[in-house]
Amino acid sequence: WLRRFLTSKEQFHAYLRAEGEPGGQAGGGGKEEEVEKKKEEEEEVDNCQSEPPAKRIRSEDLGQDGESQEDGGAEKEPVERKRARGQNKSRPCMKPNHYEQSRLCPSVTQGCAEKCYFGPRCRFLHDIGEYMAAKPADLGHSCVLFETFGKCIYGVTCRFAQAHLGDGYRNVVNTDLAKQWEGKSLVRNNLSKDLQHQLRKRKFSFKKADEYLRGLAKPHRDGRKGGKATGCSAEEQEVSNCTTPQEGLGDSPECPVLPEQGEDPKPDALQSPGPKGGEEASSVKTVGPVTDEDIIKLRSCEKKKLEIQGKLYLAPLTTCGNLPFRRICKRFGADVTCGEMAVCTNLLQGQSSEWALLKRHHTEDIFGVQLEGAFPDTMTKCAELLNQTIEVDFVDINVGCPIDLVYKKGGGCALMTRSNKFEQIVRGMNLVLDVPLTVKIRTGVQEKINVAHKIIPKIREWGASMVTLHGRSREQRYTRGADWDYIAECAKIASPMPLFGNGDILSYEDANRAMQMGVSGIMIARQVPVGALIKPWLFTEIKEQRHWDISSSERFDILKDFTNYGLEHWGSDTQGVEKTRKFLLEWLSFLCRYIPVGLLECLPQKINERPPYYMGRDYLETLMASQNVDDWIKISEMLLGPVPTSFTFLPKHKANSYR
């Protein structure tokens, strides 16, 4: 650290309160204010809505013995508190009716008020004048949707409506610009109403998955059912995959699928309707000429190859890895992108919020989705569902999620300890997919017991096209350095299957060292405290082989682009603006951990090293370094206008991943 930038907590916040005025660094007025500040800070910590506990600054770093001792004393009180980690559960949820009491009926917005979808039961406003009288003030003079596409579909409800409203609240359209975008699909993988209805009524046909699951339920010679058998031996599997067409739908009577533990035992759950009663569905038997039933399945050697060796892979990031954020990373040089982790059971139920995680922007040329599940029936059916309904280049299985909610249900990291179910999931998904299947794992579950080197050869045998290895165990989470020596060992074991390494890629030097370890490529994730979430321009640094001392104004422009992408994706009405604000604030909770290159004596910034309080080179740089929620909200107001009354925000992830 360059010492001239270091400061104390009190001076840091006093500077921000003074809006960057030089006089604000003195800290203001006396002991009474300091006592009030301490009380307020203690209350904020109790509410879990302020910044993390005070940062420790050694006296020799600051040259102020008194301040360092006071900080150390303040640290002694909360020693017994449980360490912040995981999610902020039961956090306040801002719903649309919390910030917009009177909402206009969608039929009016779309110009077909006479055909209201809700009929006489409609609770929305139909009078535009009444709505405009109560509508909050516009947030700006230009609408990104109107400027980009020539038309804003949100009409009078747009929070930037003055840019495209004519006489009588008529929505103005730029016909020349609108024609350029006519018929073009900007975002793919949307959930249609018809598909959602089929899923909710359980009328979707899972033909391939059902056949595979019936094979699992067939009894073995020793009388057991299920197990590791997949309907044919390993030799037969190899022959059928690479030399001969897949065998028919079976010659022996079929057995019903056994419900997995913890799942709904009701008949036909999440399955296509079959014969009622005790009758068994007869299999299709073929004799003589080859029919479509015999060759409908792709052989493994016919599948599309995943050619991403040496490319930069943006990891699937829960909450923050949304479509607007991926567009930012794509612009900075990410080659491969992946959607956020989607829960297979929610997808099978047709939940719109879960299907939104699968959406793909047209600029994402190599795109995959990541699925999480614990049982072969739901995972195989979900893979077949996605194979038929969306456009992706690969499907990834999440076997690395460490959170308790997933682990205790048998998903995520728990699959590494459930090899039988893990095998059934990988084989089943690989069977029903026409695109490559990849797997993301950790070194193991326990901190000092690595098991990935034992599992990787099995994953290759089961049919996966690629493995990504995060160099930490579940118990380590993000608080220890990634074990790249172990990743290099696993890369040799995985050959010829590609293995991507993940963990602690902080700069282009780290990326170069990682590639020398023998991995096929690197995945860049949250990488606390630096990475794609904290430093999305890391992709540019790696490709241009340089450290980028990015200015605060350039970083603010990135936030502007994110808000524009968010308004384009989530909408420019009040609901869309607040959803954009929510995801912006979630991202700012990570962005504040970035330390500008120009303030460091030694490059790069070290992993898991909590930075002390420092003054930036200007007010905006200092504001972006604040870990206080109120300062994040202030940044959001600079981009999206004032927050609604009674607005509250608490980040989803409370873990700061510092030792």
pLDDT per residue over 277-292, tens digit each?
A: 333 333 444 556 655 5
Q: 382-411: per-residue pLDDT in tens?
A: 999 999 999 999 999 999 988 888 999 999
Choose the most confident range, by mean pLDDT, from 126-140, 215-229, 248-262: 126-140
82-86: which pairs have CB atoms within 8 A and are 24 or more residues apart? 84/52, 84/654, 84/655, 84/656, 85/477, 85/654, 85/655, 86/403, 86/404, 86/653, 86/654, 86/655
**Residue-level pLDDT at 444:** 92
Q: Residue 646 — left, alpha, or beta (φ > 0 → left; ψ -120 to 50 → alpha)?
A: left
Alpha-carbon span 279 to 276, nearest angstrom: 7
User: Among 627, 614, 632, 621, which residue's Cα sits nearest to residue 12?
Assistant: 614
- State what percent of residues in the chain have pLDDT above 90: 49
Position 305 confidence tier, pLDDT thresholds 50, 70, 90 = confident
Helices (H), 302-451: 323-331, 344-348, 352-355, 376-389, 404-407, 419-432
Q: Please state the rounded mean pLDDT for residues 28-50.
A: 44
Residues paired with residue 260 on neighbouring β-strands, in sequence order: none
CA–CA gap between residue 153 and residue 167 (Å, rounded) = 17
What pLDDT does 336 receive?
A: 95
Task: With cut-offs at 50, 70 and 90, classify the pLDDT of residue 253.
Answer: very low
pLDDT at 27: 37
State yes or no: pLDDT of 231 exceeds 50.
Answer: no
d(CA 429, CA 33): 62
Mean pLDDT of 336-354: 96
CA dist list (Å): 572 to 468, 541, 566, 587: 37, 33, 9, 19
Question: Of the listed 401, 413, 490, 592, which one is catalytic?
Answer: 401
Amino acid 389: pLDDT: 96
Residue 252 has pLDDT above 50, yes or no: no
Is 401 an annotated catalytic residue? yes
Band (pLDDT 50/70/90 cuts) for residue 479 is low
Region of 48 (left: φ > 0; alpha: ψ -120 to 50; beta: rest) is left
Return the pLDDT at 622: 93
CA 336, 339, 340, 342 dihedral sign is negative
pLDDT of residue 102: 81
pLDDT surpassing 60 at residue 64: no
What is the mean pLDDT of the segment spanning 250-256? 37
List residues bridging with 573 in a β-sheet.
158
Answer whether 362's CB lies under 8 Å from 392's CB: no
Q: Which residue has the tokens 């422009």?
A: 557
Q: 530-540, pLDDT tens digit by residue?
A: 468 888 999 99
CB 292: neighbour CB atoms within 10 A? 7
544-555 as b/e: b if 16+ CB within 10 A: eeeebebebeeb
Alpha-carbon gap, residue 338 to 526, rounded angstroms: 14
**Contacts of 199 by beta carbon, 8 Å cutoff, 6+ apart:** 348, 349, 350, 385
| Nearest residue to 4 via CA among 622, 626, 596, 615 | 615
Q: Domains of the chain (ranges plus CATH)?
A: 106-188 (no CATH), 193-213+304-548 (3.20.20.70), 556-658 (no CATH)
Between CA 435 and CA 108 the distance in angstroms is 43
**Nearest CA to 472 among 536, 418, 421, 523?**
523
- For CA atoms 132, 133, 137, 141, give the dihedral sign: positive
Q: Model confidence at 572, in pLDDT bands (50, 70, 90)? A: very high
Tokens 């607040």 sit on residue: 578
pLDDT tens digit string along 191-207?
A: 999 999 999 999 999 99
Least confident of 142-151, 275-284, 344-353: 275-284
Least confident of 122-136, 141-155, 357-371, 432-446: 122-136
| pLDDT interval class at 90 (50, 70, 90) | low
pLDDT of residue 22: 54
pLDDT confidence bin for 435, thresholds 50/70/90? very high
Percent of the chain with pLDDT over 70: 71
Average pLDDT of span 485-497: 94
Residue 92 in tokens: 């306040």
Instruction: Please tell me which residue, 427 or 658, carries the higher pLDDT value.
Output: 427
The whole-number pLDDT of residue 271 equals 35
Q: What is the mean pLDDT of the chain?
A: 79
> Which pTM was predicted?
0.79
DSSP states of 140-151 as a string?
-S--HHHHHHS-
CA dihedral 79, 84, 90, 93 (to 10 degrees): 120
- pLDDT confidence band for 86 (50 / 70 / 90): low
> In terms of Cα–Cα distance, which of 400, 391, 386 is closest to 366?
391
